[in-house]
Structure 1
Amino acid sequence: MIRQFGKCASMLVLLLVTVVGIQAQSSNKGWHLEAEGNGIAIQKAYDYLGQSPSQPIIVAVIDGGVDADHEDLQYNMWVNQDEIPGNGIDDDKNGYIDDINGWSFIGGKDGDVGQDNLEITRLYKKYMMQFKNADIAKMSKKERREYDKYLDIKKKVENRKDEADGMYKQMEFTKTMLENAARGLEQVLKDEGLNFKDLNKIKSNDQNAIIAINVIQQLENQGLEINSLNDLNDAITNEIGGAVDYYKSQSLYHYNPDYD
């Protein structure tokens, strides 16, 4: 049921297909654990290690988020036996209150931080202050190496920030347009007294409805089942909304040196 519509609408569908394709790849959970392709053969490793005597080890996670409730971690998290949880007291006198599973130096005493810079952005901010009024001609060899590193980091952060800014705006625009398209289709179905299953009977040339119909077809070509307007709205929220959130985090937080 392909109909002709404008370049803007075509771009919306293309963006949606691209996002859905990316989401579909990421939805293949555990691909990185498989033995074939790009995986690390985690099950083979478990089987091999299980044949030998084992002993507990403690792994420290530096500058990375940890989901303490993950099924593979929740019963294996290190526990500080010298600390009483939740009493607001530094029981073991190490300078950190209620550090039961370690300490989040970014989140601090109030818990994990909601959003933060990536490490490359933190380095950018550090070097930016360090070399703010620097005289290149007076730099030592060590300082010049650090300055060159700063320039490399600066370029990467600014490029990624620009890309994230653009994609964030683009995805927000796409989401709004597709939501309008879904509402337009709903109104056309109502006006013509049709059900969702009667899309091929629509006579209206309403551009929003046409966009929605083409989007539905593209989504179904990607393997999604769209059997109602609710399914369509859910797909827009999950697929495009997820992309909006992703690029929003990159734009406003991850690569934003002004966010503290």
Structure 2
Amino acid sequence: MKIWFLSSALLVTTATFAQSASTEVPKNWYQLDKASTGYYGISLDKAYDFLKAKKLKSKQVLVAVIDGGIDTLHEDLKPVLWTNAKEIPGNGIDDDHNGYIDDVHGWNFLGGKDGRNVKEDSYEGARVYTALKAKYGEEIPEDSAVSDTQKNEIALYKKVKEKVAGEVNPAEIAFLKQILPGFLKGDSVITKELGKEEYNCTDLEKYNPTDANAKRTKVFLTQLCKGNNSNELTNKQIIDELNGELRKADAVENSPKEYRKEIVQDDEKDISDRFYGNKDIMTATPFHGTHCAGIIAAVRDNGKGIKGIADNVRIMMVRAVPDGDEHDKDIANAIRYAVENGAQVISMSFGKEFSPEKKWVDDAVKFAESKGVLLVHAAGNDAKNVDSTDNFPSPVYLDNGKKATNWITVGASGDPHTGSITANFSNYGKEQVDVFAPGVQIYSTIPGGNMYGNASGTSMACPVVAGTAALLLEYFPTLSAKQLKYIIEKSSVSPDTEVNVPGTTQKTKLSELCVSGGLLNAYEAVKLAASLQGERTKEVLPAPTMTKNKKG
């Protein structure tokens, strides 16, 4: 999933942007209380004051973060990492017989047994297009010429062909190919002179390059930050996005590179082939996962860095998200791994436009649902209405059209000080997005030596909700996943003004953009949870159909 809404800004040079950069806000603005500070935060301190006044004791909660990796050595995260007590570290033996060797703090489904790891991957649309093109050719058969079982596949082929081949603009791709080499040359100079591999627009403010390429790179990145209304867009994110757009265009003529196949070496077409990967959950791409994990669980009482939302949690990292589109099989197995190993809440900040094996993911979601595990998912960053635009994974089951009862989809909110109450990049949907939560200029842990920094996206809003759900479960451990979802939605607070439809200047009520019509509020949530304490929701849940093998 893109951290940044870049689609409208990728193909610009020195154009004037409609929005200005956001102003400085407190680093913890998203945790503040609006009534006392004026910021549209989640009233976290008031929530803790309420819990303290009630003299409630917390019970430790396990939160799984399915992402791209985590800095296991970070000062604010190392103490809160989940440790598999049944596994002896580094002995090369599957001590707990769960099928995963040395899974001490989680598991990496993007790794090989030889220790190598998948860093980047292709666009899912390209993978689907290539497979169906090989099966059906350039001419798509009419429905009358195929069997009933092929009609859904034909519909998918039509959709993916239009997306892959129909949206490629040769002039835009030519422009990308023209600017990328210069951007990379300038980037190499800037990283050397700043002394850091990843930098953002704030780092560039006082940087005055003399190299011509570095000057152009600075100007280009600065303009994108202005266009996205934030200074936290980084060089790495831009490079990944540019390369991703070029890979999409290349898919029209060429099969996408199979980045994963050579390294992971599982049978990707067999969901029962589950026991692949390796123990390396840090790898070379831990920025995104480290940032998300810190939002949920950074140690609150150590006097360092930041305070995570939940005060008594452990973080399990399940690596399944590369730079590029994740594979359905990896996501399905990541959810299943998290549930089997005790996760009570799963935070999922990723997404894509196509899901060729959605049935596998659906079955993993049903498995989580049957075990009472809450899934929290980022809505996406394309300023689109996901009531009518695909964004996967989704809570609507393919086989029966029902929605999972244990799933929360999160849009990103901000503050007038950061640009607007609704983030200009956030996806939305009156039926499919459940609640909005802070996702703009979120300050959290980043890898590279006990470092901290800002990032924006529904990817950040998702762990804000996951952390709040974990906080609720700590102090009210009898709550079901369905009750957690109900509490978070019911206790959300409607803003006292109309908001922007993301990506536009059009005004509307927040109730037109999400199910709850509100912004996450931890204080209101704990109050509501206290009123429901001791109650359980009785319901018949769909049974999973995922088959077991000899490992379970």
Which residue of 91, 105, 115 maps to 2:120?
115
Partner of 2:439: none
Larger strand percent: 2
Q: Distance in 2 between matches of 1:47 and 1:119?
A: 43
Q: Distance in 2 between matches of 1:152 and 1:68?
A: 39
Q: In the alignment, does 2:86 pair up with 1:91?
A: no
Residue 14 of structure 2 aligns to which amino acid in structure 1?
L
- Once the 2 structures are TM-superposed, how far is the Cα of residue 48 of structure 1 from its aligned partner? 1.9
- Once the 2 structures are TM-superposed, how far is the Cα of residue 125 of structure 1 from its aligned partner? 5.6
Which residue of 227, 237, 243 maps to 1:248?
243
- Worse-superposed segment, 111-120 or 79-88: 111-120
Which residue of 143, 147, 158 maps to 1:151?
158
Q: Distance in 2 between matches of 1:71 and 1:152?
A: 46
Partner of 1:194: none
- Worse-superposed segment, 158-167 or 113-122: 158-167
- Once the 2 structures are TM-superposed, how far is the Cα of residue 148 of structure 1 from its aligned partner? 1.6
- Once the 2 structures are TM-superposed, how far is the Cα of residue 117 of structure 1 from its aligned partner? 3.0
Q: Is the 8 A contact 1:171 1:244 kept in 2?
A: no
Partner of 2:257: 259
Residue 224 of structure 1 aligns to which amino acid in structure 2?
E
Within 5 A, what are the aligned runs for 1:178-197? none
- Once the 2 structures are TM-superposed, how far is the Cα of residue 169 of structure 1 from its aligned partner? 0.9
Q: In the alignment, does 2:70 pair up with 1:67?
A: yes
Q: Is the 8 A contact 1:90 1:96 kept in 2?
A: yes
- Once the 2 structures are TM-superposed, how far is the Cα of residue 138 of structure 1 from its aligned partner? 2.1
Q: Is the 8 A contact 1:33 1:41 kept in 2?
A: yes
Q: Distance in 2 between matches of 1:159 and 1:82?
A: 52
Residue 116 of structure 1 aligns to which amino acid in structure 2?
D
- Once the 2 structures are TM-superposed, how far is the Cα of residue 73 of structure 1 from its aligned partner? 4.3
Q: Distance in 2 between matches of 1:29 and 1:250?
A: 34
Q: Distance in 2 between matches of 1:48 and 1:175?
A: 46
Q: Deviations for 1:117-158, whole angstroms, at most 9, x for unmatched residues?
A: 355555556655666698642221x54234323432443345
Question: Closer, same or farther in 2 for the Cα pair 1:48/1:244, shift >3 Å?
Answer: same
Question: Closer, same or farther in 2 for the Cα pair 1:258/1:40, shift >3 Å?
Answer: farther
Structure (1 or 2) with the larger CA radius of gyration = 1
Question: Closer, same or farther in 2 for the Cα pair 1:65/1:224, shift >3 Å?
Answer: same
Q: Distance in 1 between matches of 2:82 and 2:166?
A: 39
- Once the 2 structures are TM-superposed, how far is the Cα of residue 175 of structure 1 from its aligned partner? 3.4
Partner of 2:85: 81
Listed as ranges, the gaps of 5+ residues in structure 2 are 1-10, 188-200, 222-234, 259-552
Partner of 2:483: none
Listed as ranges, the gaps of 5+ residues in structure 1 are 1-10, 180-218
Q: Distance in 2 between matches of 1:58 and 1:254?
A: 41
Residue 179 of structure 2 aligns to which amino acid in structure 1?
M
Q: Distance in 2 between matches of 1:72 and 1:154?
A: 46
Q: Distance in 1 between matches of 2:245 and 2:124?
A: 13
Q: Distance in 2 between matches of 1:122 and 1:176?
A: 27
Partner of 1:41: 41
Q: Distance in 1 between matches of 2:160 and 2:210?
A: 46
Partner of 1:100: 104
Q: Distance in 2 between matches of 1:91 and 1:238?
A: 51
- Once the 2 structures are TM-superposed, how far is the Cα of residue 96 of structure 1 from its aligned partner? 1.9
SS at match of 1:60: strand
Task: Give the structure-2-normalised TM-score.
Answer: 0.28
Within 5 A, what are the aligned runs for 1:139-218? 139-140=147-148, 143-158=150-165, 165-166=173-174, 168-172=176-180, 174-175=182-183
Q: Is the 8 A contact 1:124 1:150 kept in 2?
A: yes
Q: Is the 8 A contact 1:84 1:98 kept in 2?
A: yes
Q: Distance in 2 between matches of 1:87 and 1:160?
A: 51
Aligned CA RMSD, in angstroms, stands at 5.0
Q: In the alignment, does 2:228 pair up with 1:224?
A: no
Q: Distance in 2 between matches of 1:253 and 1:28?
A: 37
- Once the 2 structures are TM-superposed, how far is the Cα of residue 115 of structure 1 from its aligned partner? 1.1
- Once the 2 structures are TM-superposed, how far is the Cα of residue 47 of structure 1 from its aligned partner? 4.2
Question: Closer, same or farther in 2 for the Cα pair 1:157/1:108, shift >3 Å?
Answer: farther
Q: Distance in 2 between matches of 1:30 and 1:170?
A: 38
Residue 229 of structure 1 aligns to which amino acid in structure 2?
T
Number of matched pairs: 197
Q: Is the 8 A contact 2:122 2:247 kept in 1?
A: no
- Once the 2 structures are TM-superposed, how far is the Cα of residue 81 of structure 1 from its aligned partner? 1.8
Q: Distance in 1 between matches of 2:173 and 2:26?
A: 28
Q: Is the 8 A contact 1:82 1:92 kept in 2?
A: yes
Q: Distance in 2 between matches of 1:255 and 1:165?
A: 10
Identity of aligned residues (%): 27
Larger helix percent: 1
Q: Deviations for 1:27-65, whole angstroms, at most 9, x for unmatched residues?
A: 9897994768xx9834x2464266265433333344x32
Q: Distance in 2 between matches of 1:126 and 1:86?
A: 40
Q: Is the 8 A contact 1:86 1:98 kept in 2?
A: yes
Partner of 1:204: none
Q: Is the 8 A contact 1:161 1:255 kept in 2?
A: no
Q: Is the 8 A contact 1:88 1:97 kept in 2?
A: yes
- Once the 2 structures are TM-superposed, how far is the Cα of residue 247 of structure 1 from its aligned partner? 0.8
